Amino acid sequence: MRFPLATRRLLGLLTLLVALAVPARAAVFDPTTFTLANGLQVVVVENDRAPVVSHMVFYKVGAADEPKGKSGIAHFLEHLMFKGTDTVAPGEFSAIIKRIGGQENAFTSYDYTGYYQNVAKQHLGRMMELESDRMANLKLPADQIAPELEVVREERRSRIDNDPSSLHGEQVMAATYLAYPYRIPIIGWEDEVAALTQEDAEAFYRTWYAPNNAVLVVAGDVTPDEVRRLAELTYGQIPAREVPDRVALRGGEPAQLAARRIEGAHPRVDQPTWSRRWIAPGQVWGDTDLAPALEVAAEILGGGSTSRLYRALVVEQAKAVYAGAGYGPSGLGPQTFAVYASPRADVSVEELEEAMEAEIARMLRDGVTAEEVESAVTRMKRSAVFARDDSLAPARLFGAELASGGTIADVEEWPERIGAVTPDAVVTALRAVIVDPHSVTSILRPEPRS
């Protein structure tokens, strides 16, 4: 499928892409950034290893910005952006990319919507012409709406409705957030998606798709002067428009006063799974100073086969087939810190849960060592040592960060921030987040086939 759904977990993984083994205060990608007169922010990441470029546009709007009762409209509009303008026929955009041997994609997340093309460097100007054209001049032929809506509904059926773990995940997200719109699926609730109209798509487009609500990132074999000249000739001709205050539009998240538990079962589930999550601060929400320590904590606790959870539950106690932890700070709203595992065939979910709780309690009680912190930080930095050689990775990273409330400095200074994390900071952050009444526990079990 051309339009995969992005997730906040992907942002967490992308955050790691900036973690190169560089000295403190050294630039990671050393981008050039400037803003056009109409408010379009432009980021240029130079990389002349190959004569190719990644051209990406991120709009500062995602599923969490949708009007009440219109879930899925951000993703639906993403599809409709390929339906043409006055000068580009439906489907022609993609046909042009194919003819020149390029690649394209688009994606919707909670916090942004993105469109990109990877092409030979001589085609960059043409990409800017096409992308700026649909930024300002999108046309939605009436005969294209119903067929494309059916495509989106089929995507939901195949990706969500036919996948027990995805259906269960929707219920878990809805239980995790009482009010914040992260509780609503990116692809939308089926009944609301089915009722979306051409008028809904046009209104969403007019409200949010403006140059002053977008970020253009170009990475690859280009210079800032080249990009500025082409951007001025294309995007620079589009007038700015007033856009809503998305933070105020989204609202807040009430304090959680009692633990929540979601349990499900399905005949197509072969292996039980268990997870627990807590609302956590992010890069712009809550106590943001805790974010670097939480990243390191997640790596120590559950970041791979050398982590505490894996060693204890999989290797030493032989209670789980896998175990891990996850946290990513990127996003405008409240984030989550999570631990997860799946029991061995001879171990009950309840026994696994008890063992998991014991390991977390031990870390909260006894803390972590300086050696654990140093090792975790080193692994995090080395996990993306080849990021500089991939034009798409830095382009997507900067676009996602800037469209989600972050800054260039949040990317460039990341190695320095995690390098400054201490053992005491890790425990302080965990104790602030891992509070029993604030948890959401999820269990998905196999259900015997009748």
pLDDT, tens only, 284-297: 999 999 999 999 99
> Of the residues 198, 216, 249, which one is the last residue of a structural domain?
249
The answer on pLDDT for 392 being more than 90 is: no
> Of the residues 195, 228, 249, which one is the last residue of a structural domain?
249
Question: Is residue 15 situated within a structural domain?
Answer: no
State how far the Cα of 267 lies from the Cα of 24, in Å rounded to an integer: 52
Q: pLDDT for 24-83, tens place per residue?
A: 344 568 899 999 999 999 999 999 889 999 999 999 999 999 999 999 999 999 999 999
Question: Is residue 411 situated within a structural domain?
Answer: yes
- My answer on whether 58 and 182 are in the same domain is yes
- My answer on whether 300 and 207 are in the same domain is no
The answer on pLDDT for 3 being more than 60 is: no
Question: Is residue 26 situated within a structural domain?
Answer: no
Q: Which of 66, 78, 372, 412 is catalytic?
A: 78
The answer on pLDDT for 23 being more than 50 is: no
The answer on pLDDT for 165 being more than 50 is: yes
Of residues 110 and 379, more confidence is placed in 110
The answer on pLDDT for 243 being more than 70 is: yes
Q: Kindly provide the b/e burial profile for residues 23-53, where b requires at least 16 CB atoms within 10 angstroms of the residue's own CB.
A: eeeeebbebbbeebebbbbbbbbbbeeeebb
Checking DSSP bridges between strand 320-327 and strand 335-343, what pairing results, if any? antiparallel
Average pLDDT over residues 228-251: 97
What residues make up the domain containing 135? Answer: 31-249
Residue in 35, 33, 84 with CA at minimum distance from that of residue 240 = 35
State how far the Cα of 65 lies from the Cα of 47, in Å rounded to an integer: 34
- My answer on whether 291 and 436 are in the same domain is yes
pLDDT of res. 17: 39
Q: In the chain, how long is the greatest CA-to-CA distance? A: 67
pLDDT of res. 14: 40
- My answer on whether 317 and 390 are in the same domain is yes
Q: How confident is the model at residue 7 (pLDDT cuts 50, 70, 90)?
A: very low
Question: Is residue 5 situated within a structural domain?
Answer: no
Question: Is residue 19 situated within a structural domain?
Answer: no
pLDDT of res. 448: 76
- My answer on whether 241 and 103 are in the same domain is yes
- My answer on whether 35 and 183 are in the same domain is yes
The DSSP call for residue 80 is H
The answer on pLDDT for 374 being more than 70 is: yes
The answer on pLDDT for 15 being more than 80 is: no
3-state secondary structure of 277: strand
The DSSP call for residue 111 is S
- My answer on whether 228 and 363 are in the same domain is no
- What CATH number is given to the structural domain containing 87? 3.30.830.10
For residue 246, the one-letter residue type is: R
- My answer on whether 225 and 360 are in the same domain is no
- % of the chain with per-residue pLDDT over 90: 86
Of residues 331 and 385, more confidence is placed in 331
Question: Is residue 3 situated within a structural domain?
Answer: no
Q: Please say if 401 is a catalytic residue.
A: no
Q: Which residues, other chains included, contact 428 with Cβ-Cβ below 8 Å and sequence gap of 6+? A: 290, 293
Residue in 4, 32, 6 with CA at minimum distance from that of residue 398 = 32
Q: How confident is the model at residue 88 (pLDDT cuts 50, 70, 90)?
A: very high
Per DSSP, helices labelled H in 28-123 are 73-80, 92-99
The answer on pLDDT for 19 being more than 70 is: no
Per DSSP, helices labelled H in 4-141 are 8-16, 73-80, 92-99, 124-137
Q: How confident is the model at residue 244 (pLDDT cuts 50, 70, 90)?
A: very high
Mean of the per-residue pLDDT values of the chain: 92
Average pLDDT over residues 148-155: 97
Q: Which residues, other chains included, contact 329 with Cβ-Cβ below 8 Å and sequence gap of 6+? A: 12, 15, 281, 282, 283, 288, 291, 294, 295, 335
> Of the residues 224, 249, 274, which one is the last residue of a structural domain?
249
Q: pLDDT for 317-373, tens place per residue?
A: 999 999 999 999 999 999 999 999 999 999 999 999 999 999 999 999 999 999 999
Question: Is residue 25 situated within a structural domain?
Answer: no
pLDDT of res. 450: 60
State the CB neighbour count (10 A cutoff) for residue 82: 21
pLDDT of res. 11: 38
What is the C-alpha end-to-end distance of the chain, expressed in Å? Answer: 33
State how far the Cα of 218 lies from the Cα of 204, in Å rounded to an integer: 26
- My answer on whether 117 and 227 are in the same domain is yes
Q: How confident is the model at residue 5 (pLDDT cuts 50, 70, 90)?
A: very low
Query: Number of structural domains, the chain?
Result: 2
State how far the Cα of 59 lies from the Cα of 24, in Å rounded to an integer: 32
- My answer on whether 226 and 291 are in the same domain is no
The answer on pLDDT for 385 being more than 90 is: no
- My answer on whether 278 and 158 are in the same domain is no
- My answer on whether 195 and 295 are in the same domain is no
The answer on pLDDT for 440 being more than 60 is: yes
